[in-house]
Amino acid sequence: MVRRAYVDGPYGQMHVRVAGVKGEQPPLICFHMSPMSGRIYQRFLEVLERRGRMGIAIDTPGFGMSDPPPAPPGIADYSRAMQAAIATLGLAGPVDLMGYHTGSMIAADLAADRPDLVRRLVCVSAPIFTADELIEMQRLYARHEPAVDGSHLLRRWHGFVRWNLGRGLTIEELNDMFPEGLLAGNREWWGHNAAFSFRPDMRLDEVAQPVLVLNTDDDLTEQSRRAPKLMRNGRVVELPHWGHGFLDGFPEQAADLVMSFLDADATDPFGALQLPEGGRPG
């Protein structure tokens, strides 16, 4: 059962989802994409617990049900908050990290800063942006004023359906997931602002730990194919049949793949990857 709790962080309380208990294997700490919450890992965490591994998903400060910083933060601010939450949870390390989009940047920053704490890293997308792409992303994901007619909500719904419907998810499931992205309210743009203001190399060249990048069919697919040139000890897996929502649509297969990496021998962490049908090494 996934339990929910709050821990103290640098900006107030941080909301966490916890499944399982700490065993011999390092717990997997999960960071979500913007502007969602740790809810995206709910079904995935349930599978991890059934398989005997502790999993924890933390709502980024200002998103989900975590208290916000006083001003728009950077990725390093989020990373320090996550480190504080991990410490408050009593996890001295080693831990494994899993990040999704903005969460991948937070995880990479934390892994680069704390090789003593982080053992392995899973990134759902590891986008390396060109200067022109960053300008366009900053334009697309800038703050949008709410509209009296609710058109700002409809615009977000259309985008959510475009990237999530199908591939394991029904419209009813999307309707259940959608509100999580609204919990940040007027802070919705903070996560994207931090992501597109972060170092364009994601600090991947500083991460010595093994890194597995899951490159699903989403809006950062092409940018994530640039990651291998920067990674010191990494592997990209192409997952063209998966997209946003795959952790809800295919939680068992996602757990197969992630755990095959986390459980692999230290001498060959990528040697036993359990790829889903249609998946292939990048």
Q: What is the pLDDT at residue 36? A: 97
Q: What is the pLDDT at residue 278? A: 86
Q: What is the pLDDT at residue 86? A: 98
Q: How far apart are CA 4 and CA 189, in angstroms?
A: 25
Q: How far apart are CA 55 and CA 42, in angstroms?
A: 10
Q: Give the contacts of 59 (CB within 8 A, at least 6 positions apart).
A: 14, 15, 16, 32, 37, 38, 65, 66
- Give the predicted TM-score (pTM) of the model: 0.97
Q: Is 134 helix (H, G, I), strand (E, B) or coil?
A: helix
**CA of 254: how far to CAs of 98, 117, 124, in Å?**
12, 24, 11
DSSP 147-165: -TTSHHHHHHHHHHHHHHS
**Structural contact between residues 102 and 60, judged by C-beta atoms closer than 8 angstroms:** yes
Q: What is the pLDDT at residue 282? A: 80
Q: Is 101 helix (H, G, I), strand (E, B) or coil?
A: coil
Q: What is the pLDDT at residue 279? A: 86
Q: How far apart are CA 42 and CA 46, in angstroms?
A: 6
Q: What is the pLDDT at residue 226? A: 97
pLDDT in tens, 69-95: 999 999 999 999 999 999 999 999 899
**CA of 155: how far to CAs of 55, 179, 217, 246, 251, in Å?**
33, 14, 21, 22, 28
**Which residues, given as ranges, of the chain have pLDDT below 50?**
none
Q: What is the pLDDT at residue 19? A: 98
